[in-house]
Homo-oligomer: A and B are copies of this chain.
Amino acid sequence: MPRWEPNAVGRLQNAALELFATQGYEDTTVAHIAERAGLTERSYFNHFATKRDVLFGPGTAVHEQIVTREISGSALGPLDSVVRGLQVAADEVLEELRPQSIRRRALIDATPELQERDQDKSAALTATIAKALRDRHLEPEAALLTARSAVLVQQTAMRMWTDPTEDRSLRELIPEALRSLRSVVEADPSES
């Protein structure tokens, strides 16, 4: 029987953040991370499948559940319902993780293997949102385009939020990122 290990996930994630920053991602092993966290490798693998998963916590599933719940229960239009869901999930899951998220962003930007894992996570969020929109009877191609647009908004807001000089909450930055996306894609006046 596994012992109960208080906050094992948080301890492993903090240990990984420290080791990746000080000795580099490549030179850090799962054994190092577990040791630094005062846990066994076996505990590590109870929570994470591989080394590259350690910075992508179980919060992801909760985040996706909240977004899905908000889309399903919303009377707003498709994109607005997703934006609202991302805002609620920002408050309930992500806002308290800001300090770790700032440290994590620098590591992801510097580590191709973590970028791939980050892409997988965005792809999974896209698929979850697209399914929730199809369940609201949006046509599949429109659901996919709306989901991809929403994930682009989320990625943009996350980049702003993980800038150490930014002091607005992720909830506030999500509509700000949507406005930036609108201004990028709006028609050049000379075209019309």
Please give the residue numbers on chain A whose beta carbons come within 8 Å of chain B beta carbons, in ascending order. 76-80, 115-116, 119-120, 123, 141-142, 144-146, 148-149, 152, 155-156, 159-160, 178, 180-182, 184-188, 191
Contact across chains for B148 and A149 when beta carbons are under 8 A apart: no
Q: How many copies does the complex hold?
A: 2
| Chain A contact residues: helix, strand, loop or mixed | helix
Partner of A188, one of B80, B120, B149, B191: B80
In the bound complex, CA of A112 to CA of B38 (Å) = 35
Query: What is the bound-complex CA distance between A140 and B156, given in angstroms?
Result: 12
Given known A141-B159, A148-B155, A159-B141, contact A178–B182 (CB-CB < 8 A): no
A53 vs chain B, min Cβ distance (A): 14
Nearest-CB distance from A111 to chain B (Å)? 14
